[in-house]
Structure formats: structure tokens, C-alpha cells
Structure 1
Amino acid sequence: MRYSTRSRLRQLDEDTKRRLRLRAAANGRSMEFEAREILRSTLDAPQRADLTWIEMLQQAAVQVGGVDLETAPDTPATAADFRNETDPAQTR
């Protein structure tokens, strides 16, 4: 069974209609065909997933060829001393 759909764009503002008309003319197409092509190409484009800010930063680094960062030497942390020096019960 073949389904037929009719497409009609309504309530487009004048500027959008004008831009569609100019784009269609530049491509030698009707406005209807141009609108279909715009929809088709947009829907065929890969969808971008929502990325966290860290992933977006990683993507930006990949796009510019990577970023070399110096790595700090791995040294153990010193233990914290929470004893109260003024409290005689805590001093040994």
C-alpha cells in the first residue's frame, strides 16, 4: 500500500517566504520542492546528542587538533593534623 501525503506550509512569515523563494530560485527549483529538500537534508543529517560541558570541551580540542597539557607530578598528599594545639587533652 502506498501512502500519499500532501504538504502545505501555512502561516509562514513574509521574510521566511521571501527567503525560501530566493533560495528556490537560486537552485532552479519550485518553492515546494525547495522546502522538501530542506526538510529532507535536515532530517538526514546526523543528530547531535546533548553533551556535557566536559564532552563539549573535548570535542573542541579534537576539532583544533588536540591540546597538550603538562601533567603535574604524582606526589602523595600530606596527612592533615586536626589536633587543637591549645587543648591539652589533644596534645601528646
Structure 2
Amino acid sequence: MGQILIRNLDDSVIDALKRRAADHATSTEEEARRALAASVGLGREAFLERIDAMRRMIGPLSGPTSLEDLRADRARDDET
């Protein structure tokens, strides 16, 4: 993952991020990451929309689910 350094931020922006972070029980850095991601269309809602679009493109999957695989593996372990 990359890093950036943002210089010359207005103190009011930093204060607002700190307040928002406190309200969400996160760090100021995490709140800044979320704000940047949302500002470029990579917020949670946009992400979920893209995932749903991919699921529609792929279509229904066949075969066992990961839960079914896990249960089969555990059952196999219990036999030994």
C-alpha cells in the first residue's frame, strides 16, 4: 500500500477530521483514508455496487460453498 504526505492542510480541516474520527471511534488517519476514498468514488457504497456488478457478470456459481467445504473437511478430521 502506498503513502502520501499532504502539506499545508488548513487547521480547520484537521480539526474536522479529528472530530469525525472521535465520533466514529477511529483514528484521524483512518478517517482521512475514508474521506479520500469516498472523494474519488471508492467509498463503501461504491465498492458494494462494483462487487454486485461483478457478481452479475460472473453469474451463479456451481459446486459446494466454502461453508460446505469447511464442514466436509471437519467431518473428515473427525473420522480420524
**If the length of structure 1 is used for normalisation, what is the TM-score?**
0.41
Q: Tell me: higher relative CO, structure 1 or 2? Use CA pairs within 8 A at least 6 residues apart.
A: 2
If each structure's helix is expressed as a fraction of its own residues, which one has the higher value? 2
**If the length of structure 2 is used for normalisation, what is the TM-score?**
0.46
Asked which structure has the greater CA Rg, the reply is 1
